[in-house]
Chains A and B, each alone.
Chain A
């Protein structure tokens, strides 16, 4: 999330020092502004369309004031006018304003008449900050990777040493035995004789005890039956099925950290039997501006899950045909072949809208803690027993739904309850799901 920039305190101070230095050095023609204040203003108002170092819906803004001054000879006054009322400026026939307007496909910038001069100065001060140096971060990275690698080597060392020890022990034992045998040979003793004297082998005793054999056979059969049964009963049940998807999509980040509503993407769950895999244009609603994740997230992805999130976003761009340079669609699309996780057999009819819209059931009840899943997996067994259990226990949300008024009145009288379960409404009938 690039617009929410987290930074280390140390580098912040460093930067601040730098800024102070810079502001003083450029104070000849730049008005003062508070870059911290500017940053928050920038993030709330500008970041949707502008990046500092990157062309987006609008132009990149790093050092915009000084660049304008140098390249176009336009001063701050022009910027004040532009920001407060760009379309007015365009209409007034200003050359550069019209040039920009044309360049960005005739999309006028939103007017911000509420900004005072000082607000704009703050923002400009923020944009005038030099590009963040990442040396500190890189150091940190190296350090962390160093430690993890160190841990790895030490473990390996210990294991290696242990293995060596055991090998030495084994060799010495063999050697000892050899020498002892040699001694024995020298003294004319025969080792085998001693062994033969040993009585009955235990397995023979076991075989002769028929009761024991019977009992153990029964036990053996029962256990194997248990395991065979268990094996057969799990056929076709893919609980925990966690396939690798063509694009690594993290529900943890989207539904968890960013708390995006499930139905924002799976919108058809409200009206259709399918929850629907969102089409890529839904992704692009946000990912048009989110082209990379925050540093920390990126690092975490690499360390914990071995995933380069930014590369995954690039996969999305490729699939949807988004040209980052031009900020436009190329029209060359490649549909994503997701691997379907929740598979119901053809003979079972399930309707999401029945459960989500009518029943008001949370997605998590069946799909589990999706907001914590880095990789989506099948949480519930999706067996008929599991469906039926829920139908037995769940009460139907009849309040305020006119459809239920009459039947609720009649059925609650019949069953003598106020709240009806799905089962009492007929939700256990075969034909409700099998047709």
Chain B
């Protein structure tokens, strides 16, 4: 009987039309190897000056010389301080609390410094607001050591001294003042009380000063809506922990929606407690991190989102809206509405639709629900930009009304959709100064580049939320001859104060209410009411401050936001807005929901944000949590549209993912050569494209990746009607995950529903793998079926890492934290494509191929006979709207580790504390361990990644190497490496306890990933301490080990993902 199985040597063979396969049938190599040509030419061989003998001589000599040279040790110099600062002890880390406020990311953080060098960002646990650092914030420490930074003040491309700068700019400023033209301060959102005051002083000195706040990715619509309703230019605070029903219409609130930072609260509500957890329904077009975490995700196009929101509003408040949503979506909306209504104050709605009406409706719905999770009384102040003011500025510049422009923290020539107009306008100004860390697009076009310090070299204060203050302090002396914007303002104002003194005076004068400045600086955060301040007095003071701020904002010449008079008029009516006007907002929203052709949603990636950190190799190499692709942005299309438009994916022989190119046109503006990724879950008729890529100046060639999406960001609207056209050429993606589905292997990610979790016994939804022993089913964890003798691990510490798949949002902060802590090298796009990525910790993302993972498993189990082959074929493809699961995978530190038994040189061995140890100096690089590891977590150094020009990332220059952690070896070529469970951190904790002569308490042990995880998904501790959190988690019903049936007995626990699928 002939089998119809097809054997193949490479994927290429499966392609019947491949010419390569045809050629290879006859020949060994695709193209002729030119041996004959080379060896046949006797003449040239003989005339060659290097004979074979000479060659051998040279080889012999150089080998001998090299080995002789190696015998001599290098002379190492040690240079101590002349006067050692008291707080610095070489070898001991210092921590400073500070704040990042780069206009896009705002967070109170802790900086770990070693010998005066900041080397790592950690969460500030004292911070009540924004105390968690995302992936970008974690990576921001590397920006400090960026070799491309501007090292001194520049004029027309040549370095100048600050004295010259001062002299020239002072003259220019006063001449502009006298000419009566405008001086414009175009800045990022500072949210800084002291900076606002300083700008006000600058305005009063020069008179005709306009302050325009510009957010590259604008939240103007939400700000306008909030301002209209509540009178403050801010954004409502959402605490998703308090919500039991979360409905989101296009809001990626686990990403960068309204400034981000909502994931920690969200994750807490997602862990089933007493049989309850929140239910999350998401309506969106792109597959976002938030949609991937939702219990129910409904793919809808951007224009449908508007209708969905209007419909939701009408269903909840009892109005009516004429929507024409398809039946299935309308049903989903009705269910969502009834769920929200049922939840009442336990429900919350969030929307990311870039439309004032939509944002107004969201606020109205939340107030109608009187949602506990929705708090308009302490607005978030980290977005202040106004679209109108920015557009007005460009118009004024073109009209020649602007005499001088001073930019800080912005890069309009890259981020503005009408960048060319801005460039034109810039030429018409008499003075243009860009405070910038890089010679970026805008800085290069300005007359002066005022080299700005990194935030780790600066002073500052930030009011993250109303009444929630945070201080920024330098953690290192400025590396270059830089000056911060505020300091320059002070000098222009004619003050000789330092900005630190200015902040201190300002804080002592109001914010602190008599509390110690130094204490606030030490904590990094200050919220009146804490720190023993009498809450009453302090809060009135802050009210006063924000009161003045607000007044400033409404003052038409000044202001944060430059609202013109006519806007104020609308504001007034908005303030007195009745239900009727909101109803009209709903109608307007529906009528604006018009789609022509394809609809494009622009978004920001978790890794790259608005693009200001584009020269950060950690972030470039950070795989997007959804597409798992690094070093790129791309347009995402649904499978149906891809088939229609002729886009496809293929894999080359090394496994690398290939795709097509497309060009997108919005209102006559075309962006070409955008790679296309077919994205499961993408709403049909919609496309997605991320900001942040395609930078051209101020970064290394290696980092000039992707395409710039800002030209398509017209009218600062993230959704655009667009036409798409296929282009020629094949794009090579650097995708780290090539297998996207679980193929029904339910034991990798165990996944169940809340109903089953609550009603059935553990064995049903978290089954233990069984093996047959004497025809009796025995659990694989039983010692009776074990191949190995068990070590006695009851003494001392036994570390366990617990990962809760319910709490993990896939944000990837842990990935970057691991990079920073463990000196993980960056390998570049080409190497990633060859699957040679070095991430010790990866976050696998799986799609279901049926509608849910459970159905995958059922399908696999129910398919019998040969049809399983076809079934598997189908299961390789993700569903059109798949369920998504994230799974952080690092070395599982198996108690019975397969890698250890195969190492010929015992370079990987087991420790008593449960850590599988990797000894780099013993490793000879056979890679047996990597092959024998069932989890594929071992990483091999194919090359030397430091001091190697082929890998010109941070480890190739002295500056970039300053970020390295001195406690962790920098690995060399030919060595295997992997997660060490941060043994340097556990050892340090142990040593500290030994020195103090005390017992270690639970919570003291940490790994980089567990410390970085603000959502509480990764917990670390000692299971020999029965009271510890991880010891209890180990006994939890949801606990399982990855590939339990292999019998590796890992020390990493996973906790079954529970989805709340209960329809209200």
Contacts and interface: CB of A to CB of B under 8 A. Distances in A.
A56 B133 CA distance: 55
B91 A429 contact: no
B39 interface: no
Contact of A434 (B75, B76, B792, B917): B917
Given A235-B71, A272-B91, A410 B794 contact: yes
A277 B1000 CA distance: 31
Q: Chain B contact residues: over half helix, strand or loop, or mixed?
A: loop
B769 to A, nearest CB: 29
Given A281-B83, A358-B991, A426-B911, A339 B89 contact: no
B969 A346 contact: yes
Contacts of A402: 997-999
Contact of A407 (B79, B792, B795, B918): B795
Contacts of B1000: 403
A345 B972 CA distance: 13
B581 interface: no
Interface string A348-359: 110111100110
B995 A431 contact: no
B947 interface: no
Contacts of A243: 75
B70 interface: yes
Contacts of A426: 796, 911-913
B991 A336 contact: no
Given A268-B92, A343-B76, A346-B969, A431 B71 contact: no
Interface string A313-343: 0000001110000000000011111111001
Interface string A103-141: 000000000000000000000000000000000000000
Nearest to B792: A414
B79 A336 contact: yes
Contacts of A358: 991, 994-995
Contact of B984 (A235, A345, A346, A435): A435
B911 A429 contact: yes
A395 interface: no
B999 A406 contact: yes
Nearest to B995: A357
B92 A280 contact: no
Contacts of B667: none
A339 B77 contact: yes
A313 B468 CA distance: 55
Contact of B920 (A274, A282, A319, A347): A347
B506 interface: no
B993 interface: yes
A271 B999 contact: no
A281 B915 CA distance: 43
A401 B994 contact: yes
Interface in B81-95: 81-84, 89-92
A281 B997 contact: no
Contacts of B79: 335-338
Contacts of B794: 410
B302 to A, nearest CB: 50
- Chain A CB count within 10 A is highest, among B82, B84, B92, B991, for B82
A432 B84 CA distance: 30
Contacts of B936: none
B92 A343 contact: no
A251 to B, nearest CB: 16
Nearest to B1000: A403
B275 interface: no
B998 A403 contact: yes
A431 B911 contact: yes
A273 interface: yes
- Chain B CB count within 10 A is highest, among A273, A282, A335, A343, for A273
A339 B76 CA distance: 6
Contacts of A347: 920-921, 969
B1003 to A, nearest CB: 16
Contact of B912 (A241, A276, A336, A429): A429
A306 to B, nearest CB: 22
B75 A339 contact: yes
A411 B795 CA distance: 7
Interface in B881-930: 909, 911-913, 915, 917-922
A417 to B, nearest CB: 14
- Chain B CB count within 10 A is highest, among A241, A347, A353, for A347
B795 A354 contact: no
B34 interface: no
B650 to A, nearest CB: 41
Interface in A383-426: 400-407, 410-411, 414, 426
A275 to B, nearest CB: 9
Nearest to B967: A349
B921 A280 contact: no
Interface string A279-322: 11110000000000000000000000000000000000001110
B991 A351 contact: yes
A266 B78 CA distance: 14
B80 interface: yes
A278 interface: yes
B994 A278 contact: no
A268 B90 contact: yes
A372 interface: no
A345 B921 contact: yes
A146 interface: no
Interface of A: 235-236, 238, 241, 243, 268, 271-274, 276-282, 319-321, 333-340, 343, 345-349, 351-354, 357-358, 400-407, 410-411, 414, 426, 429-432, 434-435
Q: Which 10 pairs, one residue from A and one from B, show the smallest C-beta to C-beta distance?
A: A431-B917, A272-B91, A279-B84, A274-B91, A279-B81, A340-B76, A273-B91, A277-B80, A333-B82, A347-B921
27 contacts: A235-B71, A243-B75, A268-B89, A268-B92, A276-B90, A279-B80, A280-B82, A281-B83, A319-B82, A335-B80, A335-B81, A335-B82, A340-B76, A343-B73, A352-B91, A403-B993, A403-B1000, A405-B999, A406-B999, A411-B796, A426-B796, A426-B911, A430-B909, A431-B918, A432-B911, A434-B921, A435-B984
